[in-house]
A and B are shown apart, each in its own frame.
Chain A
Amino acid sequence: MNLYAQGLLESPLGWSVALIVGLAFGFWLERAGFGSSRKLAAVFYFKDFAVVQVMFTALATAAVGLVLLDGLGWFDASRVYRMETLLAPQVLGGLIFGAGFAMGGWCPGTALVGAASGKLDAWAFLGASMAGSLGYAALYPSLASLQEVGACGIVTLPELLGWTPATVALLVVAVALAAFWAIARFGPRGSPMEATEVGGPR
């Protein structure tokens, strides 16, 4: 049984495992090239689709893995923590977040990796995002009611579609493969960008 289900997530054991998971998380983000804001932002100009390729490969891998482990009886996927669907704050928050992503060139996870790669713009982004979270807390008395708008409890695609999780996993894989095919067919081709062109002058 997982640590969260055992109530051990907030314990020295949970923190140690979280640190190890974080090490792997940072490693894979950096390997993907997500320690570069120009690479991340390039998705919004159709110049580099690594964000889409990595994101959808990762979520399809984890989704299929979870369905498999659960189906084989090796892991009870129902014991994993799930977030509620709060439609208004998630859609509005997503739009604002996307705007910040395109402007800042980072999201919180990739900014950690960028900061660790020596990118000063990542440190600026991280510092400002901390201020932004305090800003939300300061405005929370007037923003709290938004959390009630479109609050639907835990909503999952299998329930919504009336399909089994395995079928939904196959759908996610199929959509991901279609997107990857389109990227290979219509996406950027040719040699990698010149080094000076990528980073700009110092």
Chain B
Amino acid sequence: MADSSAAQTSARSKLSRRGLLLGGAVAGFGAAAAIGADVLMRRASAVPAPAVPREEPAEASAVVDFYGEHQAGIATEPQAHCTFVALDLREDVDRAGMARLMRILTDDAARLTAGSAALADSEPELAVLPARLTVTFGFGPRVAALVPEKPSPEWLGPLPAFSVDRLDPHYGDGDVLLQVASDDPLTLAHALRMLLKDARSFATVRWHQPGFRRARGSEKPGTTMRNLFGQIDGTVNPVPGTRDFDDLVWIADRSSWAHGGTGFVLRRIGMDLDKWDRLDREGREQSVGRTLDSGAPLTGSREHDEPDFAAKNAVGFPVIAEFAHIRRARLADPSQRIFRRGYNYDEPPFGTGVSHSGLLFASFQADVTHQFVPIQRSLDELDLLNEWLVPVGSAVFVIPPGCAPGGYIGETLLGA
């Protein structure tokens, strides 16, 4: 058996080596054109897939609709990769200029997310595998102020100061947010570069924060992500497609230009992995109130079991400690919840450290003041995890509603 399997492996590797030697150059060069044609053919009609072998999995050509009542990239099952970029508008950009920028960026986003090259795309071959690419736009206070006669949400602006914050202005605020996400990092890089090239005459890059989750296909869709502490992170989250999600996330005020949009908070949270290393497994679970393997509350056995905050251990202490993260993060008022869509970051270490990692805590909520701030205040007052977490960046944007074909993102603010 062992011999036969070795022989098979050897035959396979010989085949693939020969493939590389003889066909590699041709295959590499022809692949983009072949894929492009394939995507076109499948779009154009419902004819059965051609009999030629396909190298790329179906996931690569998966498309998330760009147009709609709400922008994509929020209720979308999180992609494996996401980069958040904030732009600073140039001094001379007025309301008309902002509208021109958004018309261009909207057209780029609509084409790229459909797996087509943008207009004037100098690398069109990089656009053909969208892999669920989404582009989501947000506006900071300066954009809202371009149209003073249309009131913007009162919460739009920096969050109140929290005692745990050690904010670095290099990761804070901004005028325009781009959230670009895809299961394919090359597609993402191309889409983001296309958008930034088209924004260049209007704005400069303020900050750029790439994040990642597990690769698409590594886990079942819908699996709660793990952060770099190893914790299952985001168990209690409103479920897209439910009334609960809609009520918590979308701005319902019909008189507001932001109706159908949402509020976005990005907190860059440094995670001190080197200090976390010194904490044993039980301490790690106590700090959060959940087990590390399944993410179940310490009072339960499965991830989505409801925690029993009243349960006491043999000596009379709460099983889920007073300082535990899940206790502090839960407020009595169920309308004070948020929708989390976070990503990990892992950047080159500096000094003598070996890690420079953390979480891009991205949350969507209709009212930042009513929903996000009280939760953060509760965590600020007491949360054992604060021993290992340091918020270093903070930014708030209003996410405009989606648009229809022919329209552009931001038209409810910038248009007539």
Is B a genuine binding partner of A? Answer: no
- Tell me the B residues contacting A by CB distance below 8 Å: none
- Tell me the A residues contacting B by CB distance below 8 Å: none
